[in-house]
Amino acid sequence: MERSAPKISVNMIVCNGEAYREEVINSLQMQTFQDFEQIVIDGGSTDSTHEIRDAAYADARIGGAEMRKQRGRHFLRNRTLQHSSTQLIAVFDAAQRLPTGKLVGRILKSEESDHAMRMSFPSNV
């Protein structure tokens, strides 16, 4: 059975993020709200980030791409948008962790608005 489009895309770019990548993935998987996809664009990591990312792909909600060489943040951010299948986008940096329940709160706030909303989570949430 084909999975329907998720409610939100959680988009992240990463480069050499082995120190925190697994913890970030776990913080998303522990959310009370589970109707999301995570798009990860690896901007040319030279550490073991790709191994952590490949292991995470066992979760059907996680996808993305790997760039062979480093590109600028704006290029990589646009690549996450190309891979997203939703209009509601949460933008993460690779070192951010999301406390349980935070994603659903942001979605509820966005539904109160009539226009598209870009959600960005500061490091201190």
What one-character DSSP code corresponds to residue 4? P
The pTM for the full model equals: 0.74
The β-bridge partners of 93 are 13
Per-residue pLDDT of the chain (125 residues; tens, 9 = 90+): 566 788 888 888 888 888 887 787 788 888 888 888 888 888 888 888 877 777 777 788 888 777 777 778 888 888 888 988 888 888 877 777 777 777 776 666 666 665 554 554 444 43
Q: Which domains are seen in the chain, by residue range?
A: 8-117 (3.90.550.10)
d(CA 125, CA 123): 6
What is the arrangement of strands in the sheet containing 8-14, beginning at the earlier edge strand? 62-66, 36-42, 8-14, 89-93, 118-120
Question: 21-29 vs 49-56: helix axis angle to the nearest 10?
Answer: 20
